[in-house]
Amino acid sequence: MLPVAVWVALLGCLQAQELQGHVSIILLGATGDLAKKYLWQGLFQLYLDEAGKGHHFSFHGAALTAPEQGQGVLAKVLESLSCPKDVAPDRCAELKGQFQRLSQYRQLKTPEDYLALSKDIEALVQREGLREAGRIFYFSVPPFAYADIARSINSSCRPGPDAWLRVVLEKPFGHDYLSAQQLAEELGSFFQEEEMYRVDHYLGKQAVAQILPFRDQNRKALDGLWNRHHVERVEVVLKETLDAEGRTSFYEEYGVIRDVLQNHLTEILTLVAMELPRDASSSTAVLQHKLQAFRALRGLRRGSAVLGQYQAYSEQVRRELHKPDGFQSLTPTFAGILVHVDNLRWEGVPFILMSGKALDERVGYVRVLFKNRAFCAQSEKQWVGDRSRCLPQQIVFYIGHGELGSPAVLVSRTLFRPTLPAGSWKELEARPGLQLFGHPLSDFYAYGPVREQDAYSTLISHIFRGRKDSFITTENLLASWVFWTPLLEGLAHEAPRLYPGGAENGHLLDFEFRGSELAFCLQQPEQLVPGPGSAPPRPSDFQVLQATYRDSPLVSAWPEELIAKLADDIEAAAAKAVQRFGQFHLALSGGSSPVALFQQLAAGHYGFPWAHTHLWLVDERCVPPWDPESNFQGLQTHLLRHVWVPHYNVHPMPVHLRQRLCAEEDRGAQAYAEEISALVTNGSFDLVLLGMGTDGHTASLFPQSPTGLDGEQLVVLTESPVKPHHRMSLSLPLINRARKVAVLVMGKLKRDITLLVSRVGRQPKKWPISGVLPDSGQLVWYMDYEAFLG
């Protein structure tokens, strides 16, 4: 056994070896605005925090600028750096001088430049007798430059096998899902996932960074409160008084949703909504739980958003981007979004995201407002802030600015006294007269940071320490774009509400929510004669068009109005059937087109007789019921979770029997046919909802698979030309027994088949949809303008 002295000596050697690790930090785009304003100060703060701990650094400012000019710019930036207030001036000057000597500018343009940098770092490490710990490359450059820089780093400037590499990336990370995926794949070809740190600087804001620690440290108090039974709503808000002047080139491409909501506010939302890991200090667990929260977000639609644009914006765009005099931008500078999280904890709780430019104040906060079930017999004058249960109960993570002017965590005194880290947070002093959300500061337990710190300083420290939970992984990034891209595409041609800006906005941007819909509280005054700069007409300005198609009634409108009309018609048919027969048998197709209909029925049709409704499937893919491809899974996600249909009235197709999928010998099709015959009088559904494919198929009846187009079978197994190939479907004869058949056709991709089918006769073997004609019922076509008119 080794003596204690030997163990102490060995430990000392190991610690000395660790302390001698050298870290090189290369700031790309070192002379740009972001670097000059925040990043160099953040790197200096890192040096201040770590200088006395034995770490060795070198800082390399890199850009395309010529060396002489770049050195001059860098010298001015380094001279402007400042120390925290608690650092003595002499000590600050000493540390600043050390940092300046460790910092140098170099031009990086070619792979040879990166190779030369790598050799210089290796020479420095060897000359000083140090061990290279790692290299940090901070990309403060536009995303279009990422690929070339990444290729040069990967080929010429990686550290040795015993050192780590960390690559820091700034937003924007794509414009939509496809561009984000392409950028992620490109970067993934050069770097491992654990090497990439995507920055959302709001995750470094002190109040935001405190959300998870607060939830963890107050777990006992929050366990019974942080759920749908007690939370009324959650607000995530970022308001700005400045407009986009000078930045319209960027803003025209991105707008407020891509600039703020898709990243900053969504990241904050997930910190509030995610399940809290048992070990909240585990980066891996936090990132996994955030991803689960992303995947639980209910899909957005056009009715989930209200948009605005300050009146001077289009004129600024015309001036800065040299647009013609009549140009009117549709880019929103204000957005309110209603989000729902589809899980047991948050079902039914509205999450409101709101951001905008040219508003009445600059402020950011996350506000969790709790339900108040108390009734106070005494008058409001007798309510005392720390005792009256009738006062609003809320927890606020105050990001900054506004009336308070600094980051804070606020908890209503009627809830509980929170626990915060004593070393870094302190209770705020009383500020008589200060009102927050209509109530005095004294109504809250209010805490602020002991020392305010810039977000970039916090994040640079986390990068240095390898803390991944403060950054955006590839999976989380793509999950966010999956959530936002459909809404962005749906709003691309939506004209935003114009607002004057600042205090003059009044109540023009106030909005309210009903179910999953948002709407402005005030109707915008109508302009009988459009004036200069007036907004183009909105799709909703056009009325629903009534016509005929294939000698049957046709309803055509913009998608939102079309879905609303179809939902109204289905409810009317349901009410009529229940009144006559006591029940309503509805057969629904799967796929993407009915999703908006399901959401409309779930959100806005409270008089629908769900208790007397039987739900059937028109067709199903031969996959397990929990598979995302399952039509039943789509029905469950978008409709059944939100309405009260008795479970015995829900009839999924039996495609998964005896652990097999659509096996002939399991007789699933025959079983479904027998169930229909037993429950549906004469096999005549009250309403069948169909779609139409671009090849003319309907249900799962395909041109090259004649099964189910005629004969006696009610339910058949068919083959699809696309995966999953095996399907189960109602037959055409059974569909034609229905009292009413509604065919929903949406989108530009359906224009060609719509035109073709309008010209052909009844040829179901070529175009199965042409065989739909109820024997004694009604056929109604529902087409949006893009499918009908192109």
Segment 173-189, tens digit of pLDDT: 999 999 999 999 999 99
Two tokens, residue 216: 């963890």
- Single-letter residue type at 481: W
Query: First CA to last CA across the chain, in angstroms?
Result: 85
Residue 427 CB-density burial (10 A; 0-12 exposed, 13-18 middle, 19+ buried): exposed
- Single-letter residue type at 610: W
Whether residues 21 and 121 share a domain: the answer is: yes
- Single-letter residue type at 758: S
Whether residues 92 and 146 share a domain: the answer is: yes
**Boundary residue ending a domain (119, 147, 170):** 170
CA-based nearest residue to 263, from 306, 341, 199: 199
How far is CA 674 from each of CA 319, 475, 656, 682, 729, rounded to the nearest angstrom? 70, 45, 17, 12, 14
Domain extent for 695: 545-789
CB neighbour list of residue 547: distance below 8 Å, 6 or more residues apart: 554, 556
Identify the CATH number of the domain in which residue 344 sits.
3.30.360.10
Total domains, the chain: 3
CA-based nearest residue to 410, from 390, 389, 434: 434
Query: Taking all residues of the chain, what is their mean pLDDT, rounded to a whole number?
Result: 90
CA-based nearest residue to 372, from 542, 231, 182, 209: 231
**Boundary residue ending a domain (149, 170, 191):** 170
- Please list the active-site residues: 264
Whether residues 218 and 154 share a domain: the answer is: no
Whether residues 270 and 407 share a domain: the answer is: yes
The pLDDT of residue 387 is: 64
Whether residues 143 and 223 share a domain: the answer is: no
**Mean pLDDT confidence for 357-375:** 92
Whether residues 209 and 135 share a domain: the answer is: no
Phi then psi dihedrals of residue 653, to 5 deg: -75, 135
Segment 102-159, tens digit of pLDDT: 999 999 999 999 999 999 999 999 998 899 999 999 999 999 899 999 999 999 999 9
**In-domain check, residue 535:** no
**In-domain check, residue 313:** yes
DSSP run (H or E) holding 710: none
Find where tokens 């000493």 sit.
Answer: 94
**Boundary residue ending a domain (491, 512, 536):** 491
The pLDDT of residue 65 is: 86
Whether residues 335 and 391 share a domain: the answer is: yes
Segment 370-386, tens digit of pLDDT: 998 777 776 666 666 55
Whether residues 165 and 40 share a domain: the answer is: yes
570's torsion region: left (phi>0), alpha (psi -120 to 50) or beta? Answer: alpha
**Mean pLDDT confidence for 503-511:** 92
Q: Is the pTM of this model over 0.75?
A: no
**In-domain check, residue 515:** no
Cβ(598)–Cβ(615) below 8 Å = no
Whether residues 482 and 566 share a domain: the answer is: no
Whether residues 392 and 462 share a domain: the answer is: yes
- From the CA atom positions of the chain, what is the Rg in Å? 31
User: How far apart (Å, rounded) are the C-alpha atoms in residues 155 and 189?
Assistant: 12
Q: What angle do CA 373, 376, 381 make, to 5 degrees?
A: 130
DSSP run (H or E) holding 63: strand 56-63
Whether residues 471 and 416 share a domain: the answer is: yes
Segment 37-89, tens digit of pLDDT: 999 999 999 999 987 788 899 999 999 988 889 899 999 999 999 998 888 99
Residue 9 has pLDDT above 70, yes or no: no
Percent composition of the chain: helix, strand, coil (DSSP 3-state, to 5): 40, 25, 40
Order the strands of the 619-621 sheet from edge to edge: 619-621, 726-730, 715-719
Cβ(783)–Cβ(742) below 8 Å = no
**In-domain check, residue 193:** no
Cβ(686)–Cβ(739) below 8 Å = yes
